[in-house]
Amino acid sequence: MNYDLPDELAVECVGPVRTVVVNRPAELNAVNRPLHRALAEVWRQLAADRAARVVVLTGAGRTFCAGGDLDWITSFLDDPVARDESLREGAQIIEELLRFPLPVIAAVNGAAVGLGCSLAVLCDIVLMADTAHLADPHVSVGLVAGDGGAAFWPLLTPILRSREYLFTGDRIPAATAVELGLASRTTAPAALLPEARSLAERLAAQPTEALRGTKRVANMYLSQALAGAVQAGFAAEAVTMRSAEHRDRLTALRRRAGR
């Protein structure tokens, strides 16, 4: 099957396994406009691939995904059309991942931040290099974590622990992510992709309808639990995107980055 995607998102096909690679390594796989749109659209293309049985999601280079590209996010300050489109696509990414019929294994090879963290945690199985970490720094830049942990971390983790990380944006080391329930297990960095692909091949050999049906039932619970929270989260995030505090925080962050 030919995938219609930009260079920022690659799909590698080996037998029944599809490896989706976030492919902006020089920018730490930060999400720009083409990548954001691709992340919203790739799941339907994968579902239409009749030879696919399992998906592995990972990042090129040393980072899984560093969250939103600073230049792209800053453009929202004076472009409400782009801002609203990003929110629509953000909701689509979450919805498509939750209803995607095939098992998805995250191979978190490095930092998974903001949207990158959400992508990882929404996968069915989350393998992390023991040097990797998760973080959701929305609040630190004046935003509600609407497309991130505020909606679904409380379903997966002890809420007293997850609130502290959501409020502060602090990094969650791989071992702590497993302890909290945000990841399945850790591996040595060099073993991460081989283990993810080995597990993918094992799942691909399972009875197809039984595996898909089990995922569908499990994710039905998540979808029902998240429906109201995700809608409320994006609405609250939209309000904070227009705030003076967010503008000030983002401007200061760009200044520190030398932009």
Higher pLDDT, 224 or 133: 133
Q: Could you tell me how many residues make up the chain? A: 259
Domain total in the chain? 1
Nearest residue to 193 via CA among 99, 97, 103, 108: 108
The DSSP output letter for 76 is G
Provide DSSP, 85-138: HHHHHHHHHHHHHHH-SS-EEEEE-S-EETHHHHHHHTSSEEEEETT-EEE--T
- In the block, tokens 């730490």 appear at 28
**Within a domain: 50:** yes
- CA dihedral for 231, 138, 240, 247, sign (positive or negative): negative
Q: What CATH number has the domain bearing residue 34?
A: 3.90.226.10
Counting Cβ atoms within 10 Å, is residue 44 exposed (0-12), middle (13-18) or buried (19+)? exposed
pLDDT of residue 40: 97
**Within a domain: 67:** yes
Q: Calculate ∠ Cα 93-67-77, nearest 5°.
A: 90
**Within a domain: 127:** yes
Report the greatest alpha carbon distance in the chain: 54
- Per the structure, the complete domain to which residue 52 belongs is given by 9-190
pLDDT of residue 221: 81
Q: What is the pTM of this model?
A: 0.95
pLDDT of residue 259: 66
What confidence tier does 166 reach under pLDDT thresholds 50, 70, 90? very high
Q: What is the pLDDT of residues 136-157, one digit of tens each?
A: 999 999 999 877 688 889 888 9
**Within a domain: 197:** no
What confidence tier does 187 reach under pLDDT thresholds 50, 70, 90? very high
% of the chain residues with pLDDT over 90: 81
Contact call for residues 171 and 135 (beta carbons, < 8 A):
yes
